[in-house]
Amino acid sequence: MKTQTKSKKLNKAWLNNHVSDPYVQQAQKDGYRSRAAYKLKEIDEELKLIRPGQVVVDLGATPGAWSQYLRRRFAPKEAGQGGAAVGQLNGTIIALDLLDFEPIEGVHFIQGDFQDAAVYAQLEAALASRPVDVVVSDMAPNLSGIASTDAARISNLVELAVDFSRQHLKPDGALVAKVFHGEGYSQLVELFKANFRKVKAVKPKASRDRSAETFLVGVGKKP
């Protein structure tokens, strides 16, 4: 019973913090599906990665906040923030996730496991041989709580994103990938440095302080 009471208190505390979170409140006002939109927004505003007319692949896309942000960046300026949700789109967004994805106009969604060869083939087919300007990856595995196991799972997903980027990015293209500080982090930084000319680690203000997540950004493929 004590354990259940403690669990209820923790859940209530999390819910209170979530509801009062300024980024959660702002996401509701701006029509984003989650506060994660502001993480990509901060990274983009700092590094100027997203521009109209680009081809962007959004890995680990559900619930869709990053695709929403991309869509707004690709909407005509005269449409304004509100008009960005519908209508004309100057750019290509291909989103992929294991989970269901509520449709977003103009976003091509593929449901499946990025590690599955058949799903990977669907993604390549959707690209139709077009080179990619930016890959954004918010992929994260189901965590077991065992540090070494979780580090291996995280690293595997990041390595897959890097490999995909090596094959499909334009020479000056960019990869944004979520990683976590802890076991295996330094190796992932080295992986980025081995594959990109410019590498930067970004901890957006929209990431919760207590979260170990950060984002590695690689720009310009090394030969």
- How far apart CA 84 and CA 171 sit, in angstroms, is 29
For residue 112, give the nearest of 92, 98, 125, 94 by alpha carbon.
98
The answer on whether 113 is annotated among ligand-binding residues is yes
Pairing of strands 107-111, 92-97: parallel
d(CA 130, CA 170): 9
Peptide linkage before 52 cis (omega within 30 of 0) = no
Catalytic machinery residues: 178
66 is in an annotated binding site: yes
Cβ atoms of 16 and 31 within 8 Å: the answer is no
Q: How far apart are CA 78 and CA 131, in angstroms?
A: 28
DSSP-assigned states of every residue in 46-103: HH----TT-EEEEES-TT-HHHHHHHHHHS-GGGHHHHTTSS--SSEEEEEESS----
Q: Is 64 annotated as a binding residue?
A: yes
Distance, in Å, from the CA atom of 141 to the CA atom of 176, rounded to the nearest integer, reads: 17
Residues in Cβ contact with 109 at an 8 Å cutoff, skipping those fewer than 6 apart:
61, 94, 95, 96, 97, 101, 103
Q: Could you tell me which residues are annotated as the binding site for S-adenosyl-L-methionine?
A: 64, 66, 97, 113, 138
